[in-house]
Amino acid sequence: MTDSDQPLGRLEDLPQDYRDELTKQNLVPLWPSLRGVLPPKVPTRQTKPTFWSYQSLKPLLLQAGELTPIEKAERRVLVLANPGHGLEKMQASAAIYLGMQLLLPGEWAPSHRHTPNAVRMVVEGEGAWTTVDGEKCPMSRGDLILTPTGLWHEHGHDGDQPVVWLDVLDLPLVYYMEASYHINGERQTQVPGRGDRAYARGGVVPTPVFGRSGKRYPMLRYPWVDARAALEALAEDQPDLDAVQITYVNPETGDDAENILGFYALMLRPGQTLRLPARSPAQVFHLIEGGVEVQVFGSSFTLAEADTCCAPGYEAVTLSNRLPDRPSFIFIADESPLHRKLGVYENRG
Ligand code: GTQ
């Protein structure tokens, strides 16, 4: 037995009148809780590997469209909640919030801005758009749209079928920090200019006379056609490359697209199995195309298109493409930018 395994004194070992006096003065003895907050070697994780089937949740989401008008919801969302944290906490992991949002033809989710950062991954339906700080971003399947901290955003829908997208926010962390709030605003006026066009070609960036744009968020929409083409080119160009993966970045600086959560797209070659090493951040996997089995920490999930699952940090994850003749494409969100900034990022292999 090493020192760190020594059992420490318990609360019950202390006389009741002493404990009462501590409580009266808002004091707590550390030692009965020390191992709880600083467990040996591996952190305690509330985040349980959890799977959400799109086919199963979609009828409930459409039902929400009948039960609750958009005016009564503002954002008509079913939250993908991790039972390990308690469903009422509405979190997928310590820092990640996931929601499936429904917008029906003609509906409008009014303009607001808030401190948490968000992205939307479009799941199905055509004709919707999100306007972010005046830039109107069309929403097509697989597109990633950023609504970073403090930027005005509203959603509208000119198509004729329901549109569904996956919201990924760092809400649990920002709420925990007591820094989460929103402000409602007026309908935005569209401004000219589209980041997804200006930055459509990698390696070259717009350079107005006085230098680079200097915008923290120069690109707000990452079209799936471009991300997918980048993955296919990578795979073709490097036949031996295992992790055919791209990161969604700020095209001006190469930094992560947002400050707290990281966003990636991964292509699995036909029949490929890929082991992701055990790293400290929790992760979310959402299948854009194909069929994938995800194994993590004794759980195994079979993801069909539009299905989502999450994995706690400090666990290796194995991804297998179940299709022998076609690639599969996964959207991944994780807590890496946060862990790196805090200095707690680990890769344990
Ligand atoms: O679309 O602005 O899932 O503000 C949660 C909070 C979506 C949104 C969510 C939000 C939004």
Q: Is 95 a residue whose pLDDT tops 90? A: yes
- Judge whether 99 lies within some domain: yes
Ligand 1 pocket, residue 244 CB under 6 Å: no
Q: What is the pLDDT of residue 3?
A: 55
Q: In whole angstroms, what is the distance from residue 221 CA to residue 144 CA?
A: 6
Q: 205-229: buried (b, 16+ CB within 10 Å) or exposed (e) per residue?
A: eeeeeeeebeeebbbbbbbbebbbe
- Judge whether 40 lies within some domain: no
Q: How far is the CA of 100 from the centre of ligand 1 (A)?
A: 10
Following DSSP, what letter does each residue of 249-299 receive, concatenated? B-TTT--BSSSS-EEEEEEEPTT-EEEEEEESS-EEEEEEES-EEEEETTE
- Judge whether 280 lies within some domain: yes
- Judge whether 122 lies within some domain: yes
Domain extent for 113:
50-204+220-342
Tens-digit pLDDT profile for residues 60-73: 999 999 999 999 99
**Residue range 319-328: average pLDDT?**
98
- Judge whether 215 lies within some domain: no
CATH number at residue 251: 2.60.120.10
* Residue of 308 and 210 predicted with greater confidence: 308
Q: What is the pLDDT of residue 110?
A: 97
Q: What is the pLDDT of residue 316?
A: 98
Ligand 1 pocket, residue 340 CB under 6 Å: no
- With H, G, I as helix, E, B as strand and everything else as coil, classify residue 114: strand
Q: How many helices (H) and strands (E) does the chain have?
A: 7, 21
- Judge whether 84 lies within some domain: yes
**Residue range 111-124: average pLDDT?**
98
Categorize the per-residue pLDDT at 213 as very low, low, confident or very high, splitting at 50, 70 and 90: confident
**Residue range 280-305: average pLDDT?**
98
**Residue range 1-20: average pLDDT?**
87
Number of compact structural domains in the chain: 1
Ligand 1 pocket, residue 77 CB under 6 Å: yes
- Judge whether 27 lies within some domain: no
**Residue range 111-115: average pLDDT?**
98
**Mean pLDDT across the chain:** 97
- Judge whether 42 lies within some domain: no
Categorize the per-residue pLDDT at 4 as very low, low, confident or very high, splitting at 50, 70 and 90: low
